[in-house]
């Protein structure tokens, strides 16, 4: 290498030195740029991983929201079925309750006094209640059959109160004052 340098004159040597200096500066600049590019690439990969994790988390949340929405839709369907099958129709609630009571009493063989109806609304819940109060008399078996029939009805009829009015020792006749409630939806 020294032999090649000795073949060059001073001007050529200076030009070679300048070229070597430029080459060294270019290599330093390139190394600096590569370090910066590598750091930027590292940050971008880290940001991409973070975004990927956020995306996965959002996908899980979306799927959970969809499942919750599906459950709410099923609950709404269940509520509509409940209103349709178990609540009385709002337009003819007292008539339907009267018909049901007549059927229950006819199948039980019980004597009935006059029925008094009261109406209550529960606006917050979106339901209303028809309460029937009456006195019935019959044997223990007939009264038990009456109560079993009330409990077995598909529609919501509840025995809210029973009061024994008279208990006869002869003949086994009982007299009860009963409050029944039937419910109707919106």
Residue 84's pLDDT band (cuts 50, 70, 90): confident
pLDDT of residue 51: 95
Q: What is the pLDDT of residues 16-48, one digit of tens each?
A: 889 999 999 999 999 999 989 988 999 999 999
Q: What is the mean pLDDT of residues 66-92?
A: 85
Q: What are the percentages of helix, strand and coil residues in the chain, rounded to 5?
A: 60, 25, 15
Predicted local confidence at residue 64, as pLDDT: 96
Whole-model pTM: value is 0.56
Among residues 156, 158, 150, 69, the alpha carbon closest in space to that of 110 is found at 150
Does position 113 have pLDDT exceeding 90, yes or no?
Answer: no
Is residue 54 pLDDT above 90, yes or no?
yes
Q: What percent of the chain has pLDDT over 70?
A: 93
Structure-block tokens of residue 42: 């590292």
- The Cα-based distances of 142 to 46, 84, 86, 138, 163 in angstroms read 80, 31, 25, 6, 16
Cβ atoms 125, 88 nearer than 8 A: no
Q: Quote the pLDDT of residue 170.
A: 66
> Residue 70 pLDDT > 60, yes or no?
yes
Cβ neighbours of residue 127 closer than 8 Å, sequence gap 6 or more: 87, 121, 183, 184, 185, 186
Q: What is the largest CA-CA distance in the chain?
A: 147
**Tokens describing residue 38:** 């590598």
């Amino acid at each position: 290498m020294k032999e090649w340098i000795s073949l060059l004159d001073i001007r050529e040597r200076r030009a070679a030195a300048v070229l070597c200096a430029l080459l060294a500066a270019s290599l330093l600049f390139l190394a600096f740029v590569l370090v910066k590019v590598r750091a930027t690439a590292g940050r971008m990969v880290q940001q991409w991983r973070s975004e990927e994790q956020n995306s996965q988390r959002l996908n899980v949340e979306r799927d959970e929201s969809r499942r919750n929405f599906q459950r709410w839709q099923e609950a709404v369907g269940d509520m509509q079925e409940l209103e349709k099958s178990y609540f009385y129709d709002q337009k003819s609630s007292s008539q339907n309750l009267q018909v049901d009571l007549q059927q229950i009493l006819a199948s039980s063989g019980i004597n009935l006094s006059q029925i008094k109806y009261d109406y209550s609304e529960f606006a917050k819940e979106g339901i209303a209640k028809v309460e029937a109060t009456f006195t019935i008399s019959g044997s223990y078996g007939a009264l038990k059959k009456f109560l079993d029939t009330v409990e077995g009805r598909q529609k919501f009829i509840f025995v809210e109160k029973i009061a024994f009015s008279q208990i006869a020792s002869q003949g086994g006749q009982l007299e009860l004052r009963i409050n029944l409630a039937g419910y109707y939806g919106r």
